[in-house]
Amino acid sequence: MKQRIYIVGTGAIAGYHAEAIERYAESESGRPLLYVTDVNKAALTAFIQRFPWAAPLDNLASMLDEPSREDDIVIVATPPVTHADISCQALRSGRHVLCEKPLAMNREEADLMLKTAEEAGKWIGCCSSRFAGLQITEEVKGLLAHGTLGDVYQVQWVQRRKRARSGIDYQPQSRWFLNRAVSGGGTLMDWGPYDIASLNEVLQPDRVEILHAWMTNPETGHPVEAEVLSEVEQHAGATMRFHLANGGRVTVQYERAACCHGEERSLAEIEGTGGAVSWDWLCFDGQGELKHYSDVGGDPEVSKVTVKNAQLGMMDKPIIYFMQSIAGRETPVILNEQAVFNFSILAAIYDYIRTGEVQIVAKGARP
């Protein structure tokens, strides 16, 4: 029997999932059955015109009413404010759930999603896996595993864009990005899930402390801002302490900007007592440069290597990883406890800013 996939929400991101499913089917046993629904009937109609092989359904209730099968997947591609409710309904119906990022609006919702998944015996996955499993990341992990860098003591993760605000510079028609009650936040909720997922993939911490954090919304003269009052941050940062599984502790200096007046830069760098490494963690064009800094006879030395990655596109990864994992293959999918741990670190940054108190996130901790 063909696998069944259900997409809730038919906006821009849903189209990427449908395209990925169609490409995946070309190299596998056949295209799954695809069902879609959206409260916006115009968006649903446009989606069906674009993907005529998908079957439209009137609402979420009718989508989940049919008896479930073991490998059913529901993709939640709606704004963040609806993620927890829709995901929990889908899990309770007996289906696995792949939820768009950010996973939830707060830690309480994320914990509820995990609890519901565990009670249902299903998986809750997060689409923050778009940059997971890169070969260049494996190269960095190899340097750490072999102790090449010595004792790691500092990580700098700085990602600054001058004008890349969702709802303003990017997808200006999606004004909900600017409404905190719907989006949960600004660039930290939008791009932060990828940052934290990548940091955790490399460092593999089991506990993280938020020691300090800040956020702001730089002012510009963009015409959209004259029409819509943005309620979300576009520039944020945090000082964190990562506690590693081997007992080590690493300070992480984190910064993410979708709008800033200073210099644009992208820096992912790990420093240890025996060397350092920086790398192109995004690899948008399929390859990236890795730089290994070391000491040779008292003199600094740097070696550079270009690393090519697998052909699987970033927008294809979440659903394909998820489908392959359900089929029993090993993939870098972000699931259950790891998905909630990753998200909880982001949420803890907001909690620090709200309370001014150090926040601790422990993997596997239950409320």
Structure tokens at 83: 């993620």
Does 318 reside within a domain? no
260 and 147 in one domain? yes
Does 108 reside within a domain? no
347 Cβ contact list (under 8 Å, min separation 6): 104, 106, 107, 110
pLDDT > 70: percent of the chain: 100
pLDDT at 246: 87
Does 109 reside within a domain? no
Does 13 reside within a domain? yes
| Alpha-carbon gap, residue 360 to 339, rounded angstroms | 16
Domain count, the chain: 2
Does 74 reside within a domain? yes
Element (H, E) at 156: strand 152-160
Does 184 reside within a domain? yes
Structure tokens at 18: 């449908």
The SS3 assignment for 223 reads helix
Residue 9: pLDDT over 90: yes
Range of the domain at 9: 4-100+124-130
| Alpha-carbon gap, residue 197 to 194, rounded angstroms | 5
Residue 310: pLDDT over 80: no
Does 293 reside within a domain? yes
150 and 92 in one domain? no
Segment 27-53, tens digit of pLDDT:
776 889 999 999 999 999 999 999 999
Does 323 reside within a domain? no
| Alpha-carbon gap, residue 356 to 352, rounded angstroms | 5
On average, the pLDDT of the chain sits at 96
- For the segment 221-227, the average pLDDT, to the nearest whole number, is 82
| Alpha-carbon gap, residue 252 to 239, rounded angstroms | 6
234 and 180 in one domain? yes
Segment 167-193, tens digit of pLDDT:
999 999 899 999 999 999 999 999 999
265 and 149 in one domain? yes
Structure tokens at 150: 């010595």
83 and 178 in one domain? no
364 confidence band (pLDDT: 50, 70, 90) = confident
311 confidence band (pLDDT: 50, 70, 90) = confident
162 and 93 in one domain? no
CATH number at residue 153: 3.30.360.10
- For the segment 261-280, the average pLDDT, to the nearest whole number, is 98
**Cα–Cα distances in Å, from 25 out to 227, 270, 285, 320, 334?**
44, 39, 24, 10, 22
233 and 148 in one domain? yes
281 and 218 in one domain? yes
- For the segment 285-308, the average pLDDT, to the nearest whole number, is 96
Segment 62-75, tens digit of pLDDT:
999 999 999 999 99
Handedness of CA 9, 11, 16, 20 (dihedral sign): positive
169 and 75 in one domain? no
231 and 344 in one domain? yes
Selection from 306, 359, 358, 334 nearest residue 114 by Cα: 334
pLDDT at 29: 67
pLDDT at 230: 83
Distance of CA 69 to the CA centre of its chain: 27
CATH number at residue 58: 3.40.50.720
309 confidence band (pLDDT: 50, 70, 90) = confident
- For the segment 318-346, the average pLDDT, to the nearest whole number, is 97
Residue 241: pLDDT over 70: yes
Alpha helix ranges (H) inside the chain: 12-27, 41-50, 60-65, 83-92, 107-120, 135-145, 180-183, 187-190, 192-203, 223-227, 317-326, 336-355
146 and 234 in one domain? yes
pLDDT at 24: 87
51 and 178 in one domain? no
